[in-house]
C-alpha cells in the first residue's frame, strides 16, 4: 500500500509541475478565484433577483411537469458541475502534456530497406494513452458547455417546456435571441453568442467525430497506414496534427473559464419581474447599458 501511495504522490507532483509549467488554471484554483473574481459568489445578484421574482417557484413547477430531477438540475448543483468540468479538463490536459514527450514522431521513425524509406509506427504505451485521453478531454469540454446551457435555462424555465427538457448549448442563447432581443445589448451575452457562432461549432465537430464515428486512436492508426504509402509531407502532417491539440485544448480551457464569467455577469445584469398572468419579463438593468 505504501508503494502505491508513493506512486500516486509522484504522479501528482509531476502533474502539478506540468500545470505550473504550462500555466493551466481551472475555476477551482486559487481558492475559486479567476481574474480576481470569486467564482462561487459571482452569481449572487442573479440568484437574489430570481428568488425575489418568484422565478424559482416556476422553475420547480416546470421540473415537476417534465419529471426532471431537481437535485441535479438546480442552479447550485449545476454551478458545482461547471467547476468540476474545468478541473476535469485541466487534469486531462495535464495528462496529455505528461505523455507528449514520448509519443511517436514520424520525422524520426523510419528506416531504409533496399534504399527505400519506410515509416513505422511502433506504438508505445504513452503514445496509446495520449490517443485515448484526447477524446476524453473533448467530452469534458462538451460537459462544460452543456452545463452552461442548463444554468442559463434555469433562468428561462419556459424554454424547458418548449424543448421538452432537451437542451443543448445553443438552445438558451437562440431562445433569448428569438424572444428577448432586448437582452442582446449585453456585451456578456454577445461574447457567448460569438462563441456559439464561431468557436463552438469547430470544437463540437471534433467531438462528434470522436464519439459518433471513430475513436482518435483507431483513426490515427488508419491515417498512418494511408499516409505512409504517400510522401514525406503526409507524415509531417500527421506529426503536426498531434502537436496542434495541446495549444488548442489549453485555449479551450481558458475559454471555459472566461465563458463562465461571461455567463454569470450576463445573468447578473437581468431584471426579472412576474406579471399578473404569471409570466415573466426580462430587461437589462440600467447600469448594464451604460
Nearest 5°: CA angle at 200, between 189 and 134? 140
For residue range 42-101, list pLDDT tens digits in order: 999 998 998 899 998 898 888 888 888 766 667 888 899 999 999 999 999 999 999 999
The answer, yes or no, to whether residue 166 has pLDDT greater than 60, is: yes
Give residue 232's pLDDT: 84
Q: Which DSSP string corresponds to 142-166?
A: HHHHHHHHHHHHTT-HHHHHHHTT-
Percent of all residues in the chain with a pLDDT value above 70, rounded to a whole number? 97
How much is the mean pLDDT over the chain?
Answer: 91
pLDDT at residue 157 is higher than 80? yes
Which of 29-43, 69-83, 176-190 is predicted with the least confidence, judged by mean pLDDT? 69-83
- 182 near 284, Cβ under 8 Å? yes
Q: Where are the domains of the chain?
A: 2-288
Predicted model pTM? 0.93
Tens digit of each residue's pLDDT (9 = 90 or more) over 89-139: 999 999 999 999 999 888 888 888 888 888 888 888 999 999 999 999 999
DSSP 8-state code for residue 210: I
Mean pLDDT of 206-230: 84
Based on its alpha-carbon atoms, the radius of gyration of the chain, rounded to whole angstroms, reads 23
Greater pLDDT, 239 or 174: 174
Q: What is the pLDDT of residue 2?
A: 83
The helix (run of H) or strand (run of E) holding residue 204 is helix 200-208
Amino acid at each position: 500500500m505504501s508503494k502505491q501511495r508513493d506512486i500516486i504522490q509522484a504522479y501528482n507532483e509531476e502533474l502539478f509541475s506540468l500545470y505550473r509549467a504550462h500555466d493551466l488554471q481551472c475555476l477551482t484554483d486559487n481558492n475559486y478565484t479567476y481574474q480576481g473574481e470569486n467564482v462561487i459568489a459571482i452569481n449572487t445578484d442573479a440568484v437574489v433577483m430570481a428568488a425575489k421574482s418568484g422565478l424559482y417557484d416556476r422553475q420547480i413547477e416546470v421540473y415537476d411537469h417534465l419529471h426532471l430531477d431537481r437535485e441535479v438540475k438546480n442552479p447550485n448543483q449545476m454551478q458545482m458541475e461547471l467547476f468540476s468540468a474545468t478541473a476535469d479538463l485541466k487534469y486531462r490536459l495535464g495528462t496529455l502534456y505528461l505523455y507528449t514527450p514520448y509519443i511517436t514522431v514520424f520525422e524520426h521513425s523510419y528506416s531504409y530497406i533496399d534504399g527505400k524509406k519506410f515509416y513505422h509506427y511502433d506504438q508505445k504505451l504513452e503514445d496509446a494513452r495520449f490517443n485515448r485521453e484526447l477524446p476524453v478531454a473533448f467530452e469534458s469540454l462538451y460537459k462544460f458547455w452543456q452545463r452552461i446551457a442548463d444554468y442559463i435555462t434555469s433562468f428561462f424555465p419556459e424554454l424547458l417546456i418548449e424543448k421538452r427538457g432537451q437542451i443543448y448549448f445553443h438552445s438558451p442563447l437562440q431562445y433569448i435571441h428569438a424572444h428577448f432581443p432586448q437582452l442582446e445589448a449585453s456585451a456578456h451575452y454577445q461574447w457567448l453568442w460569438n462563441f456559439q457562432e464561431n468557436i463552438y461549432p469547430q470544437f463540437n465537430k471534433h467531438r462528434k467525430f470522436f464519439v459518433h464515428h471513430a475513436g482518435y486512436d483507431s483513426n490515427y492508426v488508419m491515417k498512418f497506414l494511408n499516409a505512409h504509402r504517400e510522401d514525406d509531407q503526409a507524415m509531417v502532417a500527421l506529426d503536426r496534427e498531434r502537436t496542434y491539440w495541446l495549444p488548442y485544448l489549453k485555449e479551450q480551457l481558458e475559454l471555459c473559464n472566461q465563458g463562465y464569467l461571461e455567463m454569470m455577469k450576463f445573468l447578473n445584469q437581468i431584471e426579472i419581474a412576474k406579471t399578473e398572468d404569471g409570466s415573466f419579463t426580462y430587461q437589462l438593468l440600467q447600469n448594464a447599458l451604460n
